[in-house]
Amino acid sequence: MRKKVIIITNGTLPVPAIFGGAAENLTQVLLEINEDFNDFDFTVFSIGKNKIKSKEFLAFKNTNFVFINEDSFFFKLNKIVKYLLNKKFNNRFPNQFLSTVLKYKKELKNADLILISNNPYYGKHLKEIVSCPIYLHLHNDYINANQGDDKIRLLNYFDKVIGVSNFIKKSVLKVTPKSCKVSYVYNGIDLNRFTLFNEVLESYLKKKYNLNKEDTVFIYSGRMQESKGIVFLLESFLTLLKKHKNIKLLFVGGTVYYNSKINEVTKNLIRRVESSLASEHVFFTGFVDYKYMHHYYKISNVAVLPSIETEAFGLTSIESQAAGLPVIVSDVGGMSETINKDCGFIVNVTGDLKSQLVHFMDKLIEDETLRKEMSKKALLNAQKFSNSFFYKQIKSELNEL
């Protein structure tokens, strides 16, 4: 008999992952592969009742979706009320999304296991209703020794925490009670997607961004936030532009996953590019739908992901390598776990970040042989992060008592 597993999303972005999101995309991978192996009966609680089209979820035979209408007046009003109450009383109450989920008591009580996606506050409220194990799939460094006792105590309501990297596992292990197991499973992606070509579309993109055959094209993909190290990346590129004329830089991403609205950080970067007369070398794409992302990697030569904030893992690093790109990453959090010395370089954020970026980027501009060799190694390294391997590992974790 198949195990009945309820997945409670964070309630920020919908599943199916029509608006992207790392946790949401990974949940969708789990659901999709389960369609082939029929290991679990999933029920997924998600927002998006008025956004998800039937074609997005009817193909799933082993998953029942319960969509919450986050656009209703009642939901929006209570969302504000719950937010204010939790701000005053230290997150004592369930937020409006979870409050709605908790009304489905019959479904919750019939579950063999509940898997919460990336929200450590949900466990204590569910523990009051269910007797089955509750697991937390942790995608961010939300619980560590630097957090207050109130947040650390949230682990008492979970039977297991599954981190997305060894870094997350180690952080949680420092504070977890004996009653809570801790493990990790690396994120997985559909590697085949990133090997696909579309000559017409990619030729169009090359023309749009003025990319020539002799250019070395650097790409940053992710949210346009200063904490991602994008200011250091731009300054490093502008320094290199004084030496190399055949280089380009693509900033691919929006303020949030599905929003192309330009934020102040991006505006400042654009002004810096214009004042440096580099508009023919630096381009800002805005948000790009995940289903088109591999085409942007395919028109690039090197990925640079110099985050200065703690990264739990680094999915964009894996995507880049799956497309055959050498990668330059920072040493914060679990990002460095995604590469090895043969396929990428690691910069130390506590050192002179700009000079390190300039050094490694310059090395890859000047040494085409090295770049091509690292490209081959990147493809090999990406094999460790396939969606099938992720499914095998997460299946083992969900079946473990």
pLDDT at 257 over 80: no
pLDDT of residue 91: 85
Strands 3-8 and 247-252: what pairing?
Answer: unpaired
Q: Please, are residues 296 and 288 in contact by the beta-carbon 8 Å criterion? A: yes
User: What pLDDT is stored for residue 246 in this prediction?
Assistant: 97
For the residues 209-213, what does the mean pLDDT come to? Answer: 95
How many CB atoms within 10 Å of residue 25?
A: 20
Residue 229 sits at φ, ψ, to 5 deg, of 80, 15
Residues 6 or more apart from 24 whose CB is under 8 A from it? 9, 13, 14, 15, 17, 117
Look at residue 336 in the predicted model and tell me its pLDDT.
95
Is the pLDDT score of 200 beyond 90? yes
Token pair of 167, please?
A: 């870094």
For residue 401, pLDDT over 80 is answered with: no
The one-letter code for the residue type at 248 is: K
Q: Which residue do the tokens 């940053």 mark?
A: 220
**Which pLDDT score, from 0 to 100, does residue 53 have?**
85
- The position carrying tokens 């908790």 is 102
For residue 208, is pLDDT > 70? yes
Q: Is 245 helix (H, G, I), strand (E, B) or coil?
A: coil
Q: What is the mean pLDDT of residues 140-148?
A: 88
Overall average pLDDT of the 89-107 stretch: 94
**The CATH number fitting domain 3-188+386-399, selected from 3.30.565.10, 3.50.50.60, 3.40.630.30, 3.40.50.2000:** 3.40.50.2000
- Give mean pLDDT, residues 166-182: 95
Q: Report pLDDT digits (tens) over 365-377.
A: 999 999 999 999 9
Which of 281, 316, 297 has the alpha carbon at shortest distance from 375?
Answer: 297
- 259 pLDDT band, cuts 50/70/90, is low
Q: Is the pLDDT of residue 349 over 80?
A: yes
Evaluate if residue 258 carries a pLDDT over 80: no
Per-residue pLDDT, averaged over 260-278, amounts to: 92
> Considering the domain 191-384 in this protein, what is its CATH number?
3.40.50.2000
Instruction: Tell me if 3-188+386-399 shares its fold with 191-384.
Output: yes
Q: Which two tokens stand for residue 129?
A: 């209703």
Kindly state the average pLDDT of the residues 100-120.
97
Q: Residues 386-394: what's their mean pLDDT?
A: 96
Q: Indicate whether 291 pLDDT > 90.
A: no
Residue 347, pLDDT above cutoff 70: yes
Burial class of residue 338, CB neighbours in 10 A (0-12, 13-18, 19+): buried
**Rounded percentage of the chain residues whose pLDDT exceeds 70:** 99
Amino acid at 396: S
Q: Look at residue 7 in the predicted model and tell me its pLDDT.
A: 99
* DSSP track, 91-115: S-S--HHHHHHTT-HHHHHT-SEEE
- pLDDT tens string 60-93: 999 999 999 999 999 999 999 999 998 898 888 9
Check residue 367 and give its pLDDT: 97
The pLDDT of residue 55 is: 81
Task: Give the mean pLDDT of 181-190.
Answer: 95
pLDDT score of 255: 79
| Overall average pLDDT of the 377-397 stretch | 97
Strand order in the sheet with 302-305: 282-286, 247-252, 216-221, 302-305, 327-330, 344-347
Report which DSSP code applies to 392. H
Q: pLDDT of 10-62, one tens digit each?
A: 999 999 998 888 899 899 999 999 999 999 999 999 999 988 888 888 889 99
Find the Cα–Cα–Cα–Cα dihedral 356, 357, 361, 363, rounded to 10°. 0
Average pLDDT over residues 276-299: 94
pLDDT, tens digit (0-9, with 9 covering 90-100), for 297-330: 999 999 999 999 999 999 999 999 999 999 999 9
Three-state SS for 84?
A: helix
Query: Where exactly are the structural domains of the chain?
Result: 3-188+386-399, 191-384
**Residue that is written with structure tokens 């900033």 in the block:** 251
Residue matched to tokens 């009003």 = 77
